[in-house]
């Protein structure tokens, strides 16, 4: 298969990002951008983000997960701790998160360190999930080889019977991570590929420094 994509072109002209207009704390800018995209660009799944880890095989791997909360401490998502990504984080907690909001022509790249949430916080979020999602988390031995889809559906039906009319407890192997950022880059598409890039870096005194990067 050979397909030439060299003629694919797009002009970016929906906004600008000037260093003098940015706040001292990048979490303020993240909050602003997230709100704007969530409000004005409904075609984007605003909280969908790519997380990159270094796998046990030494290779980086990206996958899309959903951001469930962000605070001044960092970014929270939930997953199976025994999954491929969970095992990778256990060995090397340094991760990269990225958001690409094509409607707004914006991208955010976050480097940080992942740590498990307190159990009570994971319990609280698990309890808020629909029962189907709760049971699905228990039924799936995430990232392991499964015989076929029928096996997954059978396991789910068995769990539905087991917990019929009962509270579903959060399994120990499932919960949240908090990613504490050390670097955040904001990218705004601009004409002629002269994109705006503002990079924040956390220094040794836990203060943020910021600079404009060449596109």
Active-site residues, by number, are 193
Cα gap 116→81, rounded to integer Å = 9
Q: Alpha-carbon distance 177 to 184, whole Å?
A: 18
Q: From residue 62, how far is each of 3, 45, 85, 204 by CA, in Å?
A: 24, 17, 9, 29
Give 80: exposed, middle or buried? Use CB within 10 Å, 0-12, 13-18, 19+: buried
Tokens at 148, concatenated = 């076929």
Within 22-64, residue ranges assigned H as helices are 26-40
Residues 77, 80, 83, 86, CA torsion sign = positive
29 burial (CB, 10 Å; 0-12 / 13-18 / 19+) is: buried
């Amino acid at each position: 298969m050979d397909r030439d994509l060299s003629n694919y072109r797009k002009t970016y002209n929906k906004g600008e990002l000037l260093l003098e207009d940015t706040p001292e704390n990048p979490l303020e800018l993240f909050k602003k951008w997230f709100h704007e995209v969530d409000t004005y660009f409904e075609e984007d799944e605003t909280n969908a983000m790519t997380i990159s880890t270094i796998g046990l095989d030494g290779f980086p791997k990206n996958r899309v997960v959903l951001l469930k909360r962000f605070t001044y401490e960092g970014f929270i998502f939930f997953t199976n701790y025994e999954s491929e990504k969970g095992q990778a984080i256990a060995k090397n907690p340094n991760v990269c998160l990225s958001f690409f909001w094509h409607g707004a022509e914006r991208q955010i790249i976050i480097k940080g360190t992942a740590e498990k949430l307190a159990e009570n916080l994971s319990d609280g979020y698990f309890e808020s999930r629909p029962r189907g999602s709760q049971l699905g988390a228990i039924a799936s031995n995430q990232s392991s080889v499964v015989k076929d889809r029928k096996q997954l559906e059978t396991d789910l039906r068995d769990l539905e019977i087991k917990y019929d009319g009962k509270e579903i407890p959060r399994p120990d192997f499932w919960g949240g991570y908090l990613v504490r950022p050390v670097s955040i880059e904001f990218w705004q598409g601009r004409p002629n590929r002269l994109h705006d890039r503002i990079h924040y870096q956390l220094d040794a005194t836990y203060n943020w420094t910021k600079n404009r990067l060449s596109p």
